[in-house]
Chain A
C-alpha cells in the first residue's frame, strides 16, 4: 500500500520588505510549487505577506522537550548577559 497522503510543509511569511519571515503554520502539498501556491491561498488572503518560504516539515529538526531543563534553565540567572549595564550618553536617542 502506497502512502497517498501529501507531505506536510511549514510556511513562513514575510509581512513587509525588510522584516524577517515568520512561521505562520503548516499545510499539506505534493511538492514545493503546490506548497507555495497553497500557502498563498491559505495564509496571505488578508494582505499578510509579500514573500513566502516553505520547508518540508521532515527537514525541520527540533530540540527535545526533555532537554528543556538543561538547555534553557541555566540562562535564567545570567542577567549580566543582557547589555543593560552600559551607560548610554544622553545625546544618543532610541537605544
Chain B
C-alpha cells in the first residue's frame, strides 16, 4: 500500500483531505482534553480529580502528535501551536460531543464514556491503517484509550446502578448527550473520501464495536438503551454549538493577547 510521508509543493485534493482528517482528530483530542482539565482542583474527590487530569493530559499528548503531523502535511510553515491557538471556532473540526460543558460529575463521566466507546475501536482501526504516522500515534494512544474506557465504563456502572441520586444525574446526562453520539461515527466528507481509498478507518465498523460496548455497559448499569432519536451533527464540518467559542476564548487567550508568547 502507498504511504505518503511528506507534503508535495501544491497540496492535491487527497492531501487536503488528509490534512482535514488529521486536524479533526487533533481538535477532538484538544477540546476534550481541555474540558477535562477544567476539573483540575474541582473534582468530587482527590483521587478522581487526579484521574480526570491524567486523562486530560493523555488527550493533550495525543492532540500534539496530530497537530505536529498536520503542520507537516500542510507544509505552510505553521506550527502545532499556531494550529491549536490561532484557528477560529468555525475552523475547528471536532464533533459536538467533546465541546459540551462538563456539567456535574455524572455528565462528564457519560460524555467520556460515549467518546471512549468510540475512541478505542477507532484507534485500533487507525493503528492497522496504511498511514505510518497515524498508526504510530494510534499505537501509543490505544493503551491510554483502553484505560480511559475502563475508567468511564466503571463509573457509568457505579452511577447507573448506584443510588437514586446518582441514577437521576446519569439519566439527565444521557438525555443531554445521547443526541451527540451518532456524529462520532458519521463520516465527514474527508473521512468518506479517505475511507474509500482505505486511508481512514471505516466508521461503520467502528460504530458496530461502539454500540456493542455501550450495550454491554448499559446492561450492567441497568440503564435502558435510548432510542436512536434525533442526532445533532455539524462539528466535524465546522458548525459548532455556542460552547466552543467560549472554550477557545479561554484556551487561546494567551496567544491571542500576547502573540508568539513562550514560556
Contacts and interface: CB of A to CB of B under 8 A. Distances in A.
A30 B151 contact: no
A41 B51 contact: yes
23 contacts: A6-B45, A27-B46, A27-B47, A28-B45, A28-B46, A28-B47, A29-B47, A30-B158, A34-B154, A34-B158, A37-B151, A37-B154, A38-B47, A38-B51, A40-B147, A41-B47, A41-B50, A41-B51, A41-B54, A42-B46, A42-B47, A45-B50, A45-B54
Contacts of B158: 30, 34
A84 interface: no
Interface residues of B, number: 12
Give the secondary structure class of B's interface: helix
Interface residues of A, number: 13
Contacts of A27: 46-47
Interface string B34-59: 00000000000111101100100000
Interface string A24-55: 00011110011001101110010000000000
Given A33-B154, A34-B154, A37-B151, A42 B45 contact: no
Interface of A: 6, 27-30, 33-34, 37-38, 40-42, 45
Contacts of B50: 41-42, 45
B217 to A, nearest CB: 14
A6 B47 CA distance: 12
Interface string B150-181: 11001000100000000000000000000000
Contacts of A40: 147
A57 B48 CA distance: 20
A78 to B, nearest CB: 44
Contacts of B47: 27-29, 38, 41-42
A30 to B, nearest CB: 7
Interface in B17-73: 45-48, 50-51, 54
